[in-house]
Amino acid sequence: MNDSDTHKIYNWPFLHVTTKNPKLIMLQFKINHNIIYTKDKLKKVNLISNDVCHLCEREKHTIKHMMLKCTYVTLFWNEFFAWWAQITNEKIHLPDSVLLYGPVNLSKHNQVLSLALLVAKYFIYTCNLAEDPHFSRCLNHSSGKTF
Ligand SMILES: [Zn+2]
């Protein structure tokens, strides 16, 4: 990733034309600046004693784990990719950096994908806040929400 890409990533939550939803924009801002209060950060400042993910209870709860690597989250992303393939006829395999920060090249197509990824990340984030170990139950609770 070069400086220009980094610049685009840091600016896109504000320049993004596909959403004006402040919750979505703020979430991407927090991801970009690594300021989501995951359990590893709370443990570092002695607010909690346990930094293990409360969903899978296997690994350290970091942004990367929370958004990409948790067992429950990987299942969710698989469903997301299956859904995307169904509606677009396009099978995508995105690197972690694109899942986390969004596509750098914002063509019309990528803007739609970018928004879908952002809504997906917001869903993962709210499931984490709810500390619901049954991610699927969280899926059911959130299905009626709109952004
Ligand atoms: Zn986990």
Each of the 147 residues of the chain gets a pLDDT tens digit; together they read 677 777 666 665 555 556 788 999 899 999 999 999 999 999 999 999 999 998 889 999 999 999 999 998 998 999 999 999 999 999 988 999 999 988 877 777 788 888 899 999 999 998 888 776 556 555 555 444 444
Nearest partner of 100 among 54, 12, 32, 26, judged by Cα: 32
State in Å: Cα 69 to ligand 1 middle.
Answer: 7
State in Å: Cα 44 to ligand 1 middle.
Answer: 18
Residue 95's SS3 state is: coil
Neighbours of ion ligand 1 (CB under 5 A): 53, 55-56, 70
What are the C-alpha distances in Å from 38 to residues 63, 77, 125, 137? 6, 20, 10, 21
Reported pTM: 0.79
Residue 143's SS3 state is: coil
